[in-house]
Structures are given as structure tokens and as C-alpha cells.
Amino acid sequence: MKIEIHKIDKSIKGKDPLILQQHRTVVVAAEDLYPGIEIWYDRKVKSELVRGERIGYLVQKNGIPVGAAIAKQGRRSKICTVRILEEAMSFGLGRTLFYLIAMNLRGGASTVHFTAPESLWRKYEEFFKSMKFNFHGKSNTQYRSSDTEIIASAAYSEFLESLRGYTFTGTANPQCDLFVNHDELENTNEFNFSSNGEKFIRPYARPLARIDGERIDLIFSVKPKHAKRIVDGIKVMELRRKFSKKWIGCFALIYSSAPERTLVAKVKIKNVIKGSPASIWGAWHQAIDCEKGDYDSYTRGIDEIYGILLDEIKPIDPVSKTQLEYLLDHNLVPPQSYCNVKNNPLWESAIGITHLLQQQI
């Protein structure tokens, strides 16, 4: 399975014309709901995409067009359409398109609005409000004859912030232009974001660096045999020669080092205990869960050691470094001991991709 999202803006000129053709195909498929949409696309949208006055996205599933989005740039920006075809409604793509739109309306946007059938607003009011949209009554322009079109808007800053840690939830609605659902991500081999053939996921994935709604601040590198014991809930204390108590209460991911090279679990740092090697071993050897010889070897020649007590241990579907590097189109340097995610943009993006692959937040 291969999912690709292509950005369409003024850079599309001179690139693969198939991208724009497929984008049009998905959009004008709503002709039965919006009479004249084909004329609107051909006379306005196409030229404004090429000029950069609008931005668009095309979603492909195994090379077949299955989704599209259009937004109009400006101080008062408009989301013109977000549409996912029924056969692609189980990948969280709709809200991903909302997120990408939010990330690309930064050029002076103060508000964002859309029009939609009133019945659609009433049915999915909670969803729209989760993105800070408010109902403003009947639209001046009525696109459908059978259902009153309403207008809804949000402050751009609030719209963007609401999507920085968004959740993939919803209810299936194959006829809906402005709402699509996510039930559960299938076993997808490739989940690529590309801009006319060039991957651009890194800046978009970084704000998603959270698992189960919790911001991930650290990545611990742990030997596979110890990582497994952490996953199993047996080993609940990690040791480091240097560590700070400022991380108490923060969340981290466990990276199982070579030969596995895989993210395997999310943990919370419950406490950080500093003491002599003898005192830490005496009080916490069961939580440390290692051989005494290994412990003595690690602590040899030092006067104090930091015991990091782990809590809320939750295994995640393993995500390999190789897979993350492929999706990032960049090499990841494994942490030698642990790394501060905020200071490591590539790992921050990698966690964001893990978020997308897990689909559990």
C-alpha cells in the first residue's frame, strides 16, 4: 500500500501535468452536489493554483487519485474543499489535509472560513468546533438548491494550534466534502508526503511529536534485551551517569538499539533518584533488573549515578529506524544515551511520523 500527498501551488508549473489532471478529477466528481463545479475549477481554480493564489493537495493511493483539497490564500483565507473518496476513508487523510492547509496559510492569514450545507454542520458540529470554527449563519452565496449553505470561520492562529496535536477520529461519511473519517490505519507499507516528487514531511511531522496525546520530550537508547524487559513492565528503572530532575513528569520513547534499531514503547519519567552506586543498587536493584556484574561495570570509577524511574509504560507498534529514514528521506543518528527531542528536529519529525503510523492519539 502506498499513500502519497502532493502539494499543488505555483511550483506545479512545468512539473508533471498528471498531478493537476488527477486533482481536477477528484474535485469535479462532486458535480452532482455542486452544479457548475467543473466550470469553477477550469475558469478560476486551475489558474489561481498556478499563480499561487490558491493551494491544493492531491492524495494518491497506489498512484490512483482518491482525495483532494483546495484553499484560497489571503488575509481572510477560505477552505474551498476537502474531499476523500470512499475507498480511501480509513487512513486519517482528511484531517491530515486540514493540517497541511493550516500549515500553508501563514502568509498574512488572520481568519479561515468555509461554507457547507447546514445539515453537515449540525451533524459534525463537534468536529468543526474542535478546529475552533464557529457557526455564523446563512452564507450569502448558495451553492446547493436542496440544502442551506452556512458559513463558519475561525481565527487562523487558533485553527493552526488546534491541529498541532490533532487526533485521527471521526465518523464515516462518503458524501461529505468537509469531513472525512479515520477508523484505524491499516498495515501501510509506505506513507509518503511529496511535493511534486520531493518529500516534504519533515516540517509537518515535527508538531505531531506526541503519542497518546502526550508530548514526547526524550528518546532513550536501550539495549534490546533491556528494552524488552521495559516493554514487559519488568525493568522500571534506567540508569544514566548524567541526567536532570527537570525531566520528571515528562514522556519519552524507548529506542531498542542495534541490531533492532526500533522504537518500541512510550514511558513517563516518574522520578529521578541520584545516589552512590552502592545505595542505588541496594534500594533499586529489582527495578534496575540487570546482572550485578553489568551494573558494577557501568558504574565503575564514578561516585554517583542517576536512577530514572519509569511509569505508565505503554508498548507501541514497533517502528524501525530504517522505515523512519525512508519516510524522512534523511539519515537518523541514534542517541548514544538519550536525546532531547526539541534539540533534534529530525527525531522530532520521526516521532511525528510514528504518530501518523500508530494512529492511536
Lowest mean pLDDT across 167-171, 242-246, 339-343: 167-171
Q: Is residue 218's pLDDT more than 70?
A: yes
Could you say which DSSP state residue 334 is in?
A: -
How far is residue 18's CA from residue 9's CA, in Å, rounded to a whole number? 14
Q: How confident is the model at residue 198 (pLDDT cuts 50, 70, 90)?
A: very low
C-alpha cell of 58? Answer: 492531491
Q: What is the tens place of the pLDDT at every residue in 320-350?
A: 898 788 777 788 999 999 999 989 988 988 8
Q: What three-state secondary structure class fits 278?
A: helix
CATH topology of domain 207-358: 2.30.130
Task: Kindly report, residue by residue over 87-123, the tens digit of the pLDDT.
Answer: 877 666 777 788 788 877 766 789 999 988 888 888 8
Q: Which helix (H) or strand (E) holds 207?
A: none
- The stretch 76-87 carries a mean pLDDT of 89
In tens, the pLDDT along 47-73 reads 999 888 898 999 888 789 999 999 998
Q: What is the mean pLDDT of the chain?
A: 81
Fold match between 2-199 and 207-358? no
pLDDT-above-90 percentage for the chain: 44
Please give the CATH number for the structural domain made up of 2-199: 3.40.630.30
* Residue whose cell numbers read 500527498: 5
Cα distances (angstroms) measured from residue 231 to each of 293, 308, 310, 318: 23, 15, 11, 11
Q: Select the more confidently predicted residue: 197 or 27.
A: 27
pLDDT of residue 361: 29
Q: Give the residue among 234, 193, 223 at the shortest CA–CA distance from 298.
A: 223
In the chain, where are the structural domains located? 2-199, 207-358
